[in-house]
Structure 1
Amino acid sequence: MEEEKIIFCKSGGCTAKLGAGVLEHILEKLPKGEKDPNLLVGYDSKDDASVYRLTDDLAMVQTLDFFPPVVEDPYTFGKIAAANALSDIYAMGGEVRTALNIVCFPEQMDLNVLGEIMRGGAEKVQEAGGSLSGGHSIADDSVKYGLSVTGTVHPDRIWQNNTGRMGDLLILTKPLGTGILCAAHRVGEENPGGFQKAVESMMTLNKYASETARKYHIHACTDVTGFSFLGHLHEMMESGVSCHIWADQIPVFQGAVEAAEEFLITAAGQRNRNHLEQHVTFKDIPFGMQEVLFDPQTSGGLLMAVDAVDAEKMQRKLLEQGIPAAIVGKITEPAGTEIYVTQSRKW
């Protein structure tokens, strides 16, 4: 019987994540143990990485992320997977120090493919200023790749995701739509220009946006990945505040809204919608744009709650550096629904 061909790219990136609702159900049942006062951020906070205090001036940031291929080219996939894993360190306000490879790979596949994946990942770790110090591999029936990353941050300068303040403006540093465009690409229906821009964005480190933002008053930060813009925004609102989002200010990759209108969407996006719809009120927002906001992002941008005094200055600085930052909303006092999405800021 002919051996089944391995498909390199079929449903990858952060669309492969388990749904947020499933994870919440499991995590809430895990034994917590005695609270370690040096564990400043743990999994119970739904944050991007854990943070453990080593001294009064130094804390360790730990994260890991891996997933199946989101593009066909192995070298590009390696870069995307590494940039995505490294991003959690930047979302906490930290610096990358070391990384370990995580590899699942079919034994019958050409090892040159694995070499190209790991080459792409290694280059991104180097760009981040970190050291690739080892890793672990297992034989599997499909390809998966990512990194376990350790970083450092001062304990008093950690960015958590749910510490935004009323009056803060929300800044997003990358456009949305990677999940939709990758889904459209797999069936040959993508916008070529938009898809290529999305690939370039997914390979881009959040290092530069994070470094610039540290010069301003950042009250909260997360990176937008598999739980979608609205999913990660929901986590930011868990301190008991609400927010208004202005749809016409949100950067979106060319062709993403149109692809969503043609129902070129992902199952992960629908899981996000089902999990979040009770927390979101849309005001005259078309279906395609709603889907972009629920779309699982791979290696998405930082979403930051910035002091209103600093927001426009910071946005200008990011734009000067070629980072497509946009002020997309504002944190408000609790107002019934957690997230209000309106067509424009004037509403």
Structure 2
Amino acid sequence: MSDEGDDHWPALTEYAELHGCSCKVEQGELESLLTDVGLTGAQQELRFGVGEDASARAIADDLCLVTTIDFFTPIVDDPYEFGRVAACNAASDAFATGAGDDLTFLVVLGLPQEVTDAAAEILRGIVDAVDEMGGVVAGGHTIMNPWPIAGGTVVATAPPEDLLQTSDASPSERLYLTKPLGTQPAMGALRVRDGEFGETIGEASNRPVQDIADEALAWMTTPNRDAMLAAREFATAATDITGFGLLGQARLLAENAGVGVELAHLPVIDGSLELSRLFGYGLEDGESAETSGGLLVSVPERHTEAVETAFSDADVFHREVGRVTTGSGVALVDPTIERVRG
């Protein structure tokens, strides 16, 4: 991964003021918007919908259709890698509900006039990522747009018994995270490390910024499909960690299920914590936005050994990060910070 556009490709991140999932509307504002238009209650036509990572609709007694859409601005300058991250991030919403069969992707792509030459590489990245996830790109829509955006609509199927939703989490269950945190500070530092702020960044980090960013990109381009397949037999609920950060997504799970959440362990990409403190992203408080983050999976205590074995057998990173409790809200309980490399 290059830290800026090369002789052929422009630096895509320079065309947007917000990057990756940090461009999402703030959680409270989104909730107010949904309330204003009456989209906060259950929809009888759907098994579940607004408020979950994706919607699910029964299309047969033994089959549900899961649909979602996700797109965002560049978090990396390389067009091909931007496409890969965007595809993994969009599909993750379907995987968070336990759906992964018949994966069909419709591309959403918008570019400023100055960077339209990057379209083919972005699309190639999307196609390759979707192919890796066992899916197919079936079309899409491309527009001119002041900020670059990429992502798409994702359609998948699953038997109803395989579906997961945040509202089914219960007290005493354990929470697992399937990727380390820290993508926002890692990529933020990469964008400015060669400017006037570069020396300060270099002094703040315990590792070369390029190494931290390369690891962040590797995590962002790791699909959550294997994690979903390993967990869904044992899990009761799941969500993926994106723009609201770990704390925000845990809060969503707590509110939807009418439970409390305690977070006690935060695995972070080694070096990202110091960068987060420098930028004020709030990584150690679980507040830093994540792009194409891992799944947060709620598992009954009796199944923890089995799910850990399933994760290990599938070569999926996993850490127990907390538990579901009675009560309400989310609390960080003297969390242990674990530095993760590779």
TM norm structure 2: 0.85
Contact 1:193–1:254 (CA under 8 A) maintained in structure 2: no
The aligned counterpart of 1:202 is 220
The letter of the residue matching 1:98 is T
The aligned counterpart of 1:341 is 333
The aligned counterpart of 2:262 is 244
- Structure 2 CA distance for partners of 1:37 and 1:208, relative to 1, 3 Å: same
**Helix, strand or coil for the counterpart of 1:103?**
strand
How does 1:1-347 map onto structure 2 within 5 Å? 8-10=12-14, 11-31=18-38, 37-43=44-50, 46-96=51-101, 97-111=103-117, 113-188=118-193, 189=201, 191-215=209-233, 217-238=234-255, 239-247=257-265, 250-262=266-278, 264-266=279-281, 289-290=284-285, 293-334=286-327, 338-343=330-335
Distance 2:259 2:334 in 1: 17
Distance 2:154 2:113 in 1: 26
How far 1:99 sits from its partner (Å)? Answer: 0.8
Distance 2:52 2:40 in 1: 19
Contact 1:94–1:153 (CA under 8 A) maintained in structure 2: yes
* Higher mean C-alpha deviation, range 95-104 or range 198-207: 95-104
- Structure 2 CA distance for partners of 1:195 and 1:53, relative to 1, 3 Å: same
- Structure 2 CA distance for partners of 1:191 and 1:307, relative to 1, 3 Å: same
**Helix, strand or coil for the counterpart of 1:252?**
strand
Contact 1:38–1:54 (CA under 8 A) maintained in structure 2: no
**Helix, strand or coil for the counterpart of 1:258?**
helix
Distance 2:111 2:310 in 1: 42
The letter of the residue matching 1:253 is I
**Helix, strand or coil for the counterpart of 2:68?**
strand
Contact 2:173–2:301 (CA under 8 A) maintained in structure 1: yes
* Higher mean C-alpha deviation, range 123-132 or range 102-111: 102-111
Distance 2:24 2:86 in 1: 13
**Helix, strand or coil for the counterpart of 2:167?**
coil
Contact 2:87–2:151 (CA under 8 A) maintained in structure 1: yes
Contact 1:66–1:146 (CA under 8 A) maintained in structure 2: yes
- Structure 2 CA distance for partners of 1:148 and 1:253, relative to 1, 3 Å: same
The letter of the residue matching 1:220 is A
CA RMSD, Structure 1 to Structure 2 (Å): 2.2
The aligned counterpart of 1:276 is none
How far 1:110 sits from its partner (Å)? Answer: 4.5
Contact 2:89–2:291 (CA under 8 A) maintained in structure 1: yes
- Structure 2 CA distance for partners of 1:144 and 1:315, relative to 1, 3 Å: same
- Structure 2 CA distance for partners of 1:118 and 1:124, relative to 1, 3 Å: same
Distance 1:94 1:208 in 2: 11
**Helix, strand or coil for the counterpart of 2:115?**
coil
Structure 2 residue ranges without an equivalent (≥5): 1-9, 194-200, 202-207, 338-342
Deviation per residue, 1:284-303 (Å, 9 max, x gap): xxxx612xx10110000000
- Structure 2 CA distance for partners of 1:86 and 1:33, relative to 1, 3 Å: closer
How far 1:66 sits from its partner (Å)? Answer: 0.7
Deviation per residue, 1:14-62 (Å, 9 max, x gap): 011110111111110114599753311121xx11001111111111101
The aligned counterpart of 1:272 is none
**Percent identity over paired residues:** 33
How far 1:65 sits from its partner (Å)? Answer: 0.7
Contact 1:191–1:254 (CA under 8 A) maintained in structure 2: no
- Structure 2 CA distance for partners of 1:301 and 1:143, relative to 1, 3 Å: same
The letter of the residue matching 1:109 is V
Contact 1:172–1:328 (CA under 8 A) maintained in structure 2: yes
How far 1:146 sits from its partner (Å)? Answer: 0.6
Contact 2:251–2:261 (CA under 8 A) maintained in structure 1: no
**Helix, strand or coil for the counterpart of 1:41?**
coil
The aligned counterpart of 1:273 is none
* Higher mean C-alpha deviation, range 32-41 or range 143-152: 32-41
Contact 1:174–1:201 (CA under 8 A) maintained in structure 2: yes
Task: Tell me which stretches of 4 or more aligned residues in structure 1 moved more than 6 Å.
Answer: none
